[in-house]
Amino acid sequence: MNLATKQLSHAELLELDARYCWHPFTQMQTATAPLPVVRGQGEFLFDAQGNKYFDAVSSWWVNIHGHSNPAIAQAISRQACELEHVMFAGVTHPPAALLAEKLIQHAPAPMAKVFYSDNGSTAIEVALKMAFQYWQNRGVPSKKRIIALEGGYHGDTFGAMATGKSSGFYNPFAPWLFHVDFIPTGVCACTEEEALAALDQLLADSAGEIAALILEPLIQGASGMRFTRPAHVAELCKRCEAAGVLVIFDEVFTGFGRTGTLFAAEQVAQFGGQPDIVCISKGLTGGFMPMAATLTSQAVYDAFLSADVGHALLHGHSYTANPLGCAAALTSLTLFSNEATWGAIERIEATHRRWLPALACHPLIENPRVCGTVAAFELKSSQSQCGSAYGSGYGSNASQWIRQTFLELGIVVRPLGNTVYWVPPYCTAPETLENAYQTLMHVLQRWGSLIAPGPGSELF
């Protein structure tokens, strides 16, 4: 047991939590009790009563090599005994410099520089500030508008909220969000055309006012695992490049193997599109430490070089480049040079694909899809029997029922409305994922009887 924490029983933990904790994305008045987790190992979480749960969502998509991965845990422990933290303004340290080198070696072209921060939202804020100031420093202050994709989610700080307005989470803050031009997401051939047309129009009318386009390449995560083709993303990039508009890839979710390549940008590059700025977080430290980075091209970096301190990026966080985070990230990246990691990623994708036909013909499922280690589909409800492709609300009854039902069966999921998805840690054993699919079939049976016309169905 950790010296700083007291051993708590299942009930004590829940009681203490209820008394003092305020959970994220949670209506505390109506929420069911949280899952009291005391231990994690590999793809599993354990509660205080010894019950085991498959973490099918990698703890909000951060965990890639499994819980309590020994190599990462040891790297953090060693680093903690050497140098736990030091400010990164006017100071450097080996883990930060080594990690920056390694990130640039692995990052998509033309990334050349690493600016550290501490979570996905701050990586986005940094990227937006870089984009705004890049044009000011270059003497084009008129370029201050941002284009984003409908349905995009980029985090919960103000700039990130402005660029992800359509998520529906931000209504109370609407008066404080700056204007953003939204274009269609391009999740199918017709909206691809609409997206390109909308972008062309914006660039034709106002390229001189537009600083950057921001998007989640290949997968819009939080809005319901909406997939876009790499060729389409490349088209958007090429048009922006031609019009002198920076492109920001938000790879906070897609980075570190999620889409089958280390970065989604690699797949976009095959079609000739590339970003100027890339935001990474989540899997960066293997899910161990809160950490993020905003990577930029040399050209973006160079625009901040000047004798004038006002041209510098005057931004930073207390825990910028935290050595423990850097040590975890270095070890996590090393695990990617191990063929076993890529074998595991391929096996997860193969299992998802093997189940696709069964899901595709299931009467209660719509739009099953796979991209790398991510599989997603919509559950039909009485509200969307055959209609809407993408779920009905983050905190809906349907979502809570699905979560609770899977939990009772030993699987942690976190549906996005009616969208259910698997985003497992890469260390997930094939039989664990296989069992999860079998459990899904069982859950679907129960779902079917609940949404059948009759008493109780109105819940959904």
Ligand X SMILES: Cc1ncc(COP(=O)(O)O)c(C=O)c1O
C-alpha span between 260 and 267 (Å, rounded): 9
Residue 221 touching ligand X (CB under 6 A): yes
Residues paired with residue 117 on neighbouring β-strands, in sequence order = 292
Whether 122 and 317 have beta carbons less than 8 Å apart is answered as yes
Q: Look up tokens 């009887």; give the residue.
A: 449
Looking at beta carbons, which residue is closest to ligand X? 120
Q: Mask 123-142, x = binds ligand X (CB under 6 A)?
A: -x------------------
Q: How many residues does the chain have?
A: 460
Q: Is the sign of the CA dihedral 328, 329, 332, 333 positive or negative?
A: negative
SS3 420: strand
Rg of the Cα trace of the chain? 22
428 φ/ψ angles, rounded to the nearest 5 degrees:
-55, 125
411: part of which helix (H) or strand (E)? strand 411-412
Q: What does the DSSP 8-state code read for residue 390?
A: S
Among 102, 154, 239, 414, binds ligand X (CB under 6 A): 154
Residue 119 touching ligand X (CB under 6 A): yes
Site size for ligand X, by CB under 6 A?
14
**Segment lying near ligand X (by CB under 6 A), choices 71-79, 151-159, 265-273, 328-336:** 151-159
**Segment lying near ligand X (by CB under 6 A), choices 245-253, 269-277, 332-340, 393-401:** 245-253
Q: Mask 170-209, x = binds ligand X (CB under 6 A)?
A: ----------------------------------------
Q: 232 or 380, CB closer to ligand X? A: 232
Q: 24 or 175, CB closer to ligand X? A: 24
Among 134, 153, 319, 426, binds ligand X (CB under 6 A): 153
Q: 22 or 361, CB closer to ligand X? A: 22
Q: 76 or 416, CB closer to ligand X? A: 416
Among 43, 150, 250, 349, binds ligand X (CB under 6 A): 250
What does the DSSP assignment read for 113-134?
EEEEESSHHHHHHHHHHHHHHH
Whether 53 and 44 have beta carbons less than 8 Å apart is answered as yes
Q: In the range 252-291, which residues lie near ligand X by CB under 6 A?
A: 252-253, 281
Q: 120 or 257, CB closer to ligand X? A: 120
Whether 275 and 265 have beta carbons less than 8 Å apart is answered as yes
User: Where do contacts with ligand X occur on this chain (CB under 6 A)?
Assistant: 119-121, 124, 153-155, 216, 221-222, 250, 252-253, 281
